[in-house]
Amino acid sequence: MKYHIKNKNLAAEGKKKIDWAAREMTVLSFIEKRFKAEQPLSGLRIAACLHVTTETARLAQVLASGGAEVVVCASNPLSTKDDVAASLVKHDHIAVHAVHGASRTEYYKHLRAALETRPDITLDDGADLLTLLHSTYTKHLGSMLGSTEETTTGVIRLRALEASGALALPVIAVNDAQTKHLFDNRYGTGQSTLDGIIRATNVLIAGKSVVVAGYGWCGKGVAMRADGHGAHVTVVEIDPVRALEAVMDGFAVSTMKQAAPHADIIVTVTGNRDVVDGRVFSILKNGCILANAGHFDVEIDIAGLRKKSSSHSEVRKGVCAYVLSSKKTVYVLAEGRLVNLAAAEGHPSAVMDMSFAGQALAVRYLAEHGQHMEAGVYSLPHDLDQEIAQHKLASMGISHERLTPAQKRYLASWNEGT
């Protein structure tokens, strides 16, 4: 088995962490039981390009339990947990190509190593594997069953590929499942982004002025949790409907130009580039903290900030101070990469449970139907989405109301009016 990890001796610590995460991942454990019995992935090779965290380790174990040969590579060089990678290799005999802090060259070398295994199905978080498949490994596409995509930014990239007519595979956009974005993006990103900022800086959030750029599913979560800590939250949003939603949720809404001079902390979570750039650096308050929770490190223009600074240095792990020519100092967390994964542990396992249950069921769906599916972007079938929510509720010991036969008939009828 070929692999590239930091140090296999970290495996024992990694295993403890994976086992701890497993306690909270009840839906995935249920799927694992079924996979073990039914072997739906028997003989398939699967390449997963995901953040190498404890939760991804559980997903890899579950896919392997269904009969697949699994290879894992990282979807971000700063989110890899080296002990988790070591445990997957040592205890589960799952090939991993991921090292925390890998250079860009090394990062792509890892992705290529995963694709060299000629996978039948790939999993992405940000569409990097799929992009490589459609640019460098086109010869692999013909024999593949399909792919899955975990995050909003990845789905945007693959819809662009589909619109250009070049998408060659069926891809299931797991992000679009209700049991994914309603929970992972909102509650997962909300909690873990605040966790990342606090772990990196140990600043008190109460009383601070926090600007959240982007009021999508993730931004709603970040704003909600910052508010819960006692911050004064201002939302910056380009979509009028979402801006209005933020207003009615009780937040101040403003432009970046108006909000930035008062911000103690700015969090970008838009999936867009240059949200905080040269237009903003010059008006920031001394001591402002900049963090990004969007998928790519393009939301804060770090190269532009460097140019405007007379010096920069790491003042605390993951906190870089930039001294601007105006003598103001601003702090960037985790090099502008996903702060919740780079400075903390990413989403809590209980929420990744649903996202990765969606991934496991999407992979099974592709194994069973991929051969007959046209190239295109697909949603996770509705019944699978519902099934995940059912299992999650059941594992929490919660029963929900069911329709009576009369109610079912009423909802399906058109002639029972006033």
Q: Which residues of the chain form contacts with ligand NAI (CB under 6 A)?
A: 151-153, 181, 185, 189, 213-219, 236-239, 242, 269-272, 275, 293-295, 338, 340
Q: Which is nearer to ligand NAI, 265 or 269 (CB)?
A: 269
Find the shortest distance in angstroms from Cβ 220 to ligand NAI.
8
Structure tokens at 128: 């990097």
Between CA 246 and CA 237 the distance in angstroms is 9
Q: Which is nearer to ligand NAI, 95 or 302 (CB)?
A: 302
Find the shortest distance in angstroms from Cβ 73 to ligand NAI.
18
Contact in structure between 320 and 330 (CB atoms under 8 Å): no
Find the shortest distance in angstroms from Cβ 173 to ligand NAI.
12
Find the shortest distance in angstroms from Cβ 55 to ligand NAI.
11
Structure tokens at 373: 């599916």
Find the shortest distance in angstroms from Cβ 330 to ligand NAI.
19
Beta-bridge partner residues of 95: 71
Q: Which is nearer to ligand NAI, 97 or 157 (CB)?
A: 157
| Chain center to CA of 359 | 12
Find the shortest distance in angstroms from Cβ 271 to ligand NAI.
3
Q: Which is nearer to ligand NAI, 280 or 367 (CB)?
A: 280
Runs of H (alpha helix) within 273-412 = 278-281, 302-308, 339-342, 349-369, 382-395, 405-411
Contact in structure between 187 and 181 (CB atoms under 8 Å): no
Q: Which is nearer to ligand NAI, 178 or 272 (CB)?
A: 272
Q: Which is nearer to ligand NAI, 8 or 242 (CB)?
A: 242
Contact in structure between 289 and 203 (CB atoms under 8 Å): yes
Find the shortest distance in angstroms from Cβ 302 to ligand NAI.
16
By beta carbon distance, the residue nearest ligand NAI is 216
Contact in structure between 167 and 377 (CB atoms under 8 Å): yes
Structure tokens at 8: 């296999």
Could you write out the three-class secondary structure of 20-32? Answer: HHHHCCHHHHHHH
Structure tokens at 47: 């390449």
Give the 3-state secondary structure of residue 313.
strand
Q: Which is nearer to ligand NAI, 24 or 237 (CB)?
A: 237
Find the shortest distance in angstroms from Cβ 148 to ligand NAI.
14
Between CA 396 and CA 391 the distance in angstroms is 9
Find the shortest distance in angstroms from Cβ 354 to ligand NAI.
13
Q: Tell me which amino acid residue 401 is.
A: E
What does residue 126 show for φ and ψ, rounded to 5 degrees?
120, 0
Q: What is the DSSP letter of 165?
A: T
Q: Which is nearer to ligand NAI, 145 or 276 (CB)?
A: 276
Between CA 361 and CA 144 the distance in angstroms is 17
Give the 3-state secondary structure of residue 324.
strand
Structure tokens at 192: 């873990």
Q: Tell me which amino acid residue 368 is.
A: E
Between CA 234 and CA 266 the distance in angstroms is 9
Find the shortest distance in angstroms from Cβ 28 to ligand NAI.
18
Q: Which is nearer to ligand NAI, 271 or 336 (CB)?
A: 271
Q: Which is nearer to ligand NAI, 203 or 238 (CB)?
A: 238
